[in-house]
Structure 1
Amino acid sequence: MNMKLVVAIAGAMALTACDGNDRDDNNTVSGVDYSKLKTTPQTDAPLTLVSGEALNQHIKNGLRLKVSPTNYYRLDASGGAVAEVALPAAPPAADAAVSAGGGDSDNFSQTNVHVSGVDEADYAKYDGSHWFIATYPEYDPYRTDNFPGINVVATDPSAVSAEVVGHVALDSEWGGVSEMYLVENGESTSHVATLRNQWGNVYPVMPGFGFPAFDVSVDVMRMPAIEPFFGDIYYPHPVNSETKIQLVDVADASAPAIDWTLSVEGSLVDSRKVGNMLYLVTRFDPWIANLQFENGSKGVRSENEDALSAVAVQQLLPTYTINDGEAVTLADSCYVQDGISTTYGYASLVNITAVNLSDKTVVSSRCINGSVESLSVNPDSMYLTGTVWDDRMAERQQTVIHKFSLGADGAHYQASGSVKGYIGHRGDPAFKLHEHNGDLRIVTSTGRQWDNTIAHHLSILEEDNGTLKTVASLPNANRPAPIGKPGEDIYSVRFQGDKGYIVTFRQTDPLYAVDLSDRTDPKISGELEIPGFATYMHPIGDDYIFAVGQDADENGRVTGMKVALVDVRGDSPKEIDTILLGARNSRSEALNNLRALSFFPVGNELRIAMPVDYYHAETAGAYGSWQHTGLHLFKVTGIDGDNARLVEAGVIVAEEAGPDKTRPSGSGHDRSAFHDDAVFYSHANSVWAAAWDAPENAIGPINSGPVICTADVRPSLQVTVNAPGGNACSAKVTAVHNGKAIGLRAAGIDSTCVFSGIDETPGPFYIEASLDNYSTESQSVVVYRDACHVETEKVELNLTSFENGCPEVASPPSVTAIVSNWNTGSDVCSDASVTVWQGKASYILKGEARLQKVSEARSLSIAPPQAQCIFTGANGVSGQVTMIAEIQGLGSQEKTDLFIKQRDRCSVEPITEYFYF
């Protein structure tokens, strides 16, 4: 099967400086002219594959830009490029299915997705026999811990019943489960795949947001994840997230168990599944641990070049591991824009990774040298959109698109193109792109809503010899009528066959019907103006649309929720029925997440389920008071004829207001499933079952009962100590937890020994191993647990022998003094002195390095770099000392009774002290 993947690259938001002047007089260091470096611009140039030195230079130029002084307080424009590498071979992906789940899907509903044949991750998945539902412990009366998991619910539609028959508890380290897929094995489900993120500070670009059109880049929107000096904020550097995919074996529904884990470096942008082939889109920002932000410091640039030259490009690329095995590079080559200058660079990578869930193999990964914005997928194509922003000139706003083909071995680059405008953040961005008969349809906007310069555009593109070429656009010279009235933004888009539907809103809701039957001449065929707006439109064949949205008064003020049925036969849409749902505060996840809706065709009617927090008010337009939370049911009758109608079909109530209950307690992730004439509803970790024609008689809540844990006891720590030439089991290994030092027990022989202990205790630990005539080594770790047991943290400590004396390396400084002068702004490194006294012996510290930080002042202005200085020295000194810092004209400060601990025979534990003048 030959599928296509279309990718548009966006850069991440970042802050940079207002001018490009380097504070260091020496712009050229180690052959690199810093004054010429620029972030790779976003263009629709074709991509070319690079690796080795070319990729090394491009990424490292991006790192140079991140740390250079030109980067503070200015928004950046990122470039983008994509790459590929073949990983172990895997068989072809399974044919596309409507959605995840085994069995005959004609008699039960599945996840509501953007495109038929492409499954999307969700909180719940149904295969016709079992409903797999993510659980959130805070809503479970049987648990007081905070561990996520999955309930396995067996359904019996003929008896209208459900039972929780299995549960798997997951660790808390990776947070709750919001994304699940089913892995099919013939007519049944073999595994549930869960996707979770362990967050650092490198985030995916939010849907609908691109990046500004400027020259240089630094990621200061990402929060720092390092310890500050007394509340001061360091320049942030990337701390990458990690994405974990776990396969839970559910062949025995009563005993689900994790049997495969894939960990990928990078934050999860989005994912899709076609057949049993999972496509992950992740983002990773390379970094070198000892890179320094320049901030005007002489010599820092040269030190950075030494650090950059010591690191191979392979060390800058993201990796993956399977079952905690050896780390494997996702992709060792990347696409960059053809013809870019060697002075360009960008240090952010996105990977599109294909994972065969049936074979439990990583098939391939493609490296994108940039950040992506939003994602929409068809069985034979995928679209990732990225926008270049320039608020000064609307005509310079553009979305760049790169196209890839998809096959059994993953993605391959095909073509590039662009359209004017941005996708925007209102509505669902994935619906603004649509592939039909090989053409790409895309809806974009230019300008701004607040000053009425906003305008909307429909473009149709085709692939032509490596280029995505625009075939037609709307409006145009022959059809100049705008899409939307002045100042109206787009709230919803849907394409269906040769038609397109666009909802705009400011005070009323015009629904525009677009005739796409002639791909070279699209035209607005009609419009329907009604109060309020729709955020989701669901085609019912070619003749009708079911819409979910909010009602509004004549001034555009929201007054409540509504659902509507629209007749789209002919040129102009007509509203047939509208059902209002409560007061202004009434809400539903379905307003912004299509997966909260369930649809199930039965004969000549369509059954619909939607969770609602229902609020009632006596006065029109009032916020109202909460009445109930439940699953509201609707049906559209006569869908095959000319007289379709939308009717309410009842409510399965999960929670009701009362004297002691005035607000809902649900998770906000309610889901539903239809099966024959039964309806199943999940709310707050419980399940309800009802007959379609009698929802008021629903059975529930049905929940899992208490978690039953195994009786085995697990150690929190397992520490392997290596002492070449010695008896490692004679080492003293202690772990400090909550201020208490606890010795670990040893088991092993000769030079390697394993220590364990402190059973079933989660939390932070400081571990230290010492042995006579060996170095003392330590490490800090955090131990996590699931609902039953800790996850044993494995640590390895390598002790160095002192049998032949101390290592022939210079002793590190025992003392660091950080001196700051916020009074005169004088050069502290020149005007200050720091002396360490031990008895009658004195040690003068050397001051040469300035702090690299942003002032804690609200203005975030950079403090004068000369106003602080780092002094170091007293190498090898241990025991009790006194430290005195003095600045000419400002006096001195003294700190007494300081103690430097002798770590082992050859080293001490350094101390750091701070002086403010």
Structure 2
Amino acid sequence: MRKVIWTAGLAVTALTTTLVVTGGGPARVSLTSPAEAATGLVAFDDCDELARWYRATALEEVTAYGLGDGYHGGPIAFARTSMEGVALAANGVVDQATTDAPVGNGDTGTNVQEAGVDEPDVVKTDGALTYVIDDGHLVVTDVTGAEPQEIGRLELARDLRGAELLLVGDRVVLFSSAMPDWGWGGEVLTSRIYPAGPTSAVMAVVDVADPSSMSMLSHRRIDGSVLAAREHNGTVRVVISSQPALDFVYPGVRWDLPGVQRREADELTPAEALSENRRIIEAADAQAFLPEQRVDGGAAEPLLDCDDVTHPEDNAGLGTISVLTMDPADPSTVDSTAISADGDQVYASSDRLYVATTAGGWWSWEAGDRSSEVTTEVHAFDITQEETSYVASGEVPGYVQDRWSFSEHEGRLRIATTSDGRESASSVTVLDEQGPRLDVVGSVGGMGEGEEIQSVRWFDDLAIVVTFRQTDPLYTVDLSDPTAPAVLGELKIPGFSAYLHPVGEDLLLGVGQEATDRGWTTGSQASTFDISDLSEPSRVTALGLGAHRYSTVEDDPRSFTYLAEQGIALVPVDGWRGDESRLAALRVHEDGTLTHAGSLAIGRTIYGMRALPLPDGRIAIVAGGSVVELADPQQLEP
């Protein structure tokens, strides 16, 4: 069933906020009464009406360079995520965070955001076999013996060579964002190109029941780019961002996109290009504005039907966020739900999937609206049923750093944001579903004035927020009363933690950068923090991982592994030149101190490196598309 709810143009909850700062510290955000949100959506009578509506919208936005700045697409980006739930124990004004059961990796080896919600990664495992893409092939390796042994290899289409994957039973689901097929079969998109051309979101399902005889069951190519994918209870959901695929011209050159060759014609002036682009829009039919799909190499077909599409009365823009729902056991059936919006962040719990986009300030550079206030709009989808359905939208001031900035607890969404500009500060806002709206019910701000958020870790009634510019303030935020969140404590230290992980009772491990008192970063660092007293959090240990070094954990927490039973954290570390790659093992002691437990030189880039926990206590180290070693983490070289 195809369903579309177009909502970006809705008048979502309007807020007026006032920061009341006492003594320069964090402040409660005072909220006025929210305006009522418009909820009426109008269905298109037919494709002609849809085309007229979209043409009018596009004509307002088109330039000599098409829609936007002429650059579209980008590499697939499965960005950072948040945390699994951790039990809290009562103590004082807020339930104290305890980590009696420290968070480990998910069932398929990935350090995931939410327990039971799996995320795509460069490698997956079921404990006995690993699945990874190497040189355009899906490779299956047996990791039960003393040495890794390849037992299966399947050649993939070119548009899947940079894919990430989910493992769901005896199915591997692959995701990538690819360039258009311009005569050479398509390539995985690794950089932005000029002239702009539509990217494709690629989703494929492989039967891996017999690794020695794997088969491709489904290959689906959709206009747009993959934002994220999640798996929960055997159901896979993929979020795709699309723009209209119109063959615009550009000043100075004429491009023949199917052949990627310059036409034999005079160069266009900006005025001529704009006139031609307006003519292209006026001649476009309805399907030119909606994403299309190609299934198993077949002809293009609409992903959405005109009579399924509804829209707000006002201009909602031209972007489309589609959420595709699929059971990998039956990949031929895909349910699609969409909203008229752009999107750049995705967060999913076991009940809701949220898509967020930031607008205003520098985020609206293309529209010349840099002076407007930066806000983040959030759209919520219900994922408790077999089909995915849109439920509500809301808005908060500021921008989110990444998906670590989101958390859901007891049906409420919590978001950590930073305001734009030189007078920046960070806030934590709580939203509650009220009919079709995500209403703000509480917020606290004023954290890290002049700084921006580097990392967030969420617990049931607690948030740990790290900001940075010159020093690293770590804030503890009480969320026990969602209508009145409050900052309880603050710790200021040089450097910052880009990722936080619970490793014991009242104990967090952070991975980030050392820094001077003036804010100059000097190298990779791991730290442990004691949060037993939320009013006075403290750093227990700061352990350098090497001057002028960097860890991928800072940008991609999926590369972090914590072996809870062994008390060992595994962190990929590299030199700035990329020629000193190693896997560092860090031991977390009962008193919270942190020491080096050994390391393993890898000899290749750490990007995509993973250390997968195996049932026998060993780890499978994957780098460069292959299992490079099976190792005992207790026996790594010191």
| Fold similarity call, TM over 0.5 | yes
TM-fit CA distance, 1:629: 2.2
Match of 1:498 among 454, 458, 461: 461
1:303-702 to 2 correspondence within 5 Å? 304=279, 308=282, 312-325=285-298, 327-333=300-306, 338-340=312-314, 344=315, 346-390=317-361, 396-424=373-401, 429-448=402-421, 451=422, 453-475=423-445, 482-484=446-448, 486-540=449-503, 543-571=506-534, 572-584=536-548, 586-602=549-565, 605-613=566-574, 615=575, 628-638=580-590, 643-655=591-603, 665-666=604-605, 668-675=607-614, 676-684=616-624, 685-696=626-637
Corresponding residue number in structure 2 for 1:134: 133
Q: 1:504 to 1:291 in 2, by over 3 A?
A: closer
Q: 1:389 to 1:162 in 2, by over 3 A?
A: same
Contact 2:351 2:383 in 1 (8 A): yes
Matches of 1:466 and 1:370, distance apart in 2: 16
Question: In structure 1, what is the Cα distance between the partners aligned to 2:122 and 2:278?
Answer: 48
Secondary structure, aligned partner of 1:696? coil
1:725-768 per-residue CA deviation (whole Å, 9 max, x = no partner) reads xxxxxxxxxxxxxxxxxxxxxxxxxxxxxxxxxxxxxxxxxxxx
Match of 1:155 in 2: 143
Note the alpha carbon deviations across 1:818-875, whole angstroms, 9 max, x for none. Answer: xxxxxxxxxxxxxxxxxxxxxxxxxxxxxxxxxxxxxxxxxxxxxxxxxxxxxxxxxx
Q: Is the 8 A contact 1:109 1:600 kept in 2?
A: no
Q: 1:300 to 1:653 in 2, by over 3 A?
A: closer
Q: Is the 8 A contact 1:508 1:530 kept in 2?
A: yes
Distance 1:554 1:68, change over 3 A: closer
Taking a change above 3 Å as real, the CA distance of residues 355 and 634 of structure 1, as seen in their structure-2 partners, is same
Other structure's SS at 1:595 match: helix
Aligned amino acid, residue 353 of structure 1: L
C-alpha contact 2:461 2:479 (8 A) present in aligned 1: yes
Alignment-derived partner of residue 63 in structure 1 = 58
Deviation, structure 1 residue 417: 1.9
- RMSD of Structure 2 on Structure 1 (CA): 3.8
* 1:72–1:255 Cα change, 3 Å: closer
- Residues of 1 paired with 2:341 and 2:105: CA distance? 42
**Aligned runs of 1:793-804 on 2, under 5 Å?**
none
Give secondary structure in 1 for the equivalent of 2:636: strand
Cα deviation, residue 72, structure 1: 9.4
- What SS class does the counterpart of residue 581 from structure 2 fall into? strand
Q: Deviation at 1:378?
A: 0.9
Distance 2:629 2:250 in 1: 57
Alpha-carbon contact 1:395-1:446 (below 8 Å) kept: no
Q: TM-score, normalised by structure 1?
A: 0.54
Give CA-to-partner distance per residue, 1:504-536, whole Å, 9 cap, x none. 111111110111111111111111122210000
Cα pair 1:285 1:349 within 8 Å, conserved: yes
Aligned to 2:114: 115
Work out whether residues 583 and 601 of structure 2, in 8 Å CA contact, stay in contact via their aligned partners in 1.
yes
Give the corresponding residue for 2:43.
Answer: 50
Q: Matched residue of 1:304: which SS? A: helix
Q: Deviations over 1:214-238 (max 9, x none)?
A: xxxxxxx98544xxxxxxxxxxxx6
Alignment partner, residue 139 of structure 1: none
Q: Call closer, same or farther: CA 1:74–1:154 in 2, change over 3 Å.
A: closer
Aligned partner of 2:567: which letter?
Answer: L
Question: How has the CA–CA distance of structure 1 residues 58 and 292 changed in structure 2, closer, same or farther, with 3 Å as cutoff?
Answer: farther
Paired residue for 1:247? 205
- Whether the aligned pair in 1 keeps the contact of 2:160 and 2:174 (CA below 8 Å) is no
Alpha-carbon deviation of 1:49? 5.1
- State the SS of the aligned residue for 1:57: helix
Q: 1:264 aligns with which of 196, 202, 222?
A: 222
Of 284-293 and 454-463, deviating more is: 284-293
Counterpart code for 2:43 = V
Alignment CA distance shift 1:9-1:431 (3 Å): farther
Query: TM-score under structure 2 normalisation?
Result: 0.76
Change (3 A) 1:577 1:491: same
- 2:152 — aligned with what? 166
Q: Give the structure 1 partner of residue 100 of structure 2.
A: none
Report if the CA contact (8 A) 2:118-2:232 is conserved: yes
User: Helix, strand or coil: the match of 2:323?
Assistant: strand
Contact 1:248 1:259 in 2 (8 A): yes
Evaluate the alpha carbon distance shift between residue 404 and residue 690 of structure 1 in structure 2; reply closer, same or farther with a 3 A threshold. Answer: closer
- Residue identity opposite 1:551 in structure 2: E
- Output one character per residue of 1:705-736: Cα deviation in whole Å (capped at 9) or x when no partner: xxxxxxxxxxxxxxxxxxxxxxxxxxxxxxxx
Quote the Cα distance in structure 2 between the aligned partners of 1:607 and 1:370: 43
CA 415–554 in structure 1, closer or farther in 2 if over 3 Å, else same: same
Q: Give the equivalent residue in structure 1 for 2:161.
A: 176
Residue 192 of structure 1 corresponds to which residue in structure 2? 172
Q: CA deviation at 1:644?
A: 3.5
Contact 1:58 1:345 in 2 (8 A): no
State the distance in 2 between where 1:593 and 1:382 align: 20
Taking the aligned partners of 2:434 and 2:68, their CA distance within structure 1 comes to 41
Per-residue CA deviations over 1:2-40 (Å, capped at 9, x if unaligned) read: xxx999969xxxxxxxxxxxxxxxxxxxxxxxxxxxxxx
How far apart are residue 401 of structure 1 and its match?
Answer: 2.2
In the superposition, relative to structure 1, how do residues 284 and 73 fare at CA in structure 2: closer, same or farther (>3 Å)? Answer: closer
Do the aligned residues in 2 keep the contact of 1:291 with 1:304 (CA within 8 Å)?
no
Whole-angstrom CA distance in 1 between matches of 2:241 and 2:457: 29
CA contact (8 A) 1:160 1:690 kept: no
- The answer to whether the 8 Å contact 1:567/1:576 transfers is yes
What's the offset of the Cα at 1:630?
2.1
Change in Cα spacing, 1:7 to 1:456, as seen in structure 2 (3 Å) is farther
Aligned equivalent of 1:124: 123
Q: For 1:456, give the aligned amino acid.
A: S
Unaligned runs of 5+ in 2: 10-35, 72-83, 86-103, 182-190, 252-268, 363-368
Alignment coverage as a number of residue pairs? 544
Q: What does 1:879-894 correspond to in 2, within 5 Å?
A: none
Residue 239 of structure 1 and its aligned partner are, at CA, apart by 2.5
Matches of 1:75 and 1:517 in 2, distance apart? 47
CA separation in 2, counterparts of 1:162 and 1:297? 61
Query: What SS does the aligned partner of 2:383 have?
Result: strand
Alpha carbons 2:62, 2:274 under 8 Å: kept: no
Deviation at 1:75, TM superposition (A): 12
Aligned amino acid, residue 575 of structure 1? R
Structure 1 position 275, deviation (Å): 2.8
CA distance in 2, matches of 1:8, 1:588: 39
Corresponding letter in the other structure for 2:323: I
The whole-number CA distance in structure 1 between the counterparts of 2:225 and 2:413 is 28
Structure 2: distance between partners of 1:694 and 1:277: 39
User: Separation in 1 of the partners of 2:203 and 2:129?
Assistant: 21
Post-superposition shift, 1:165? 1.8
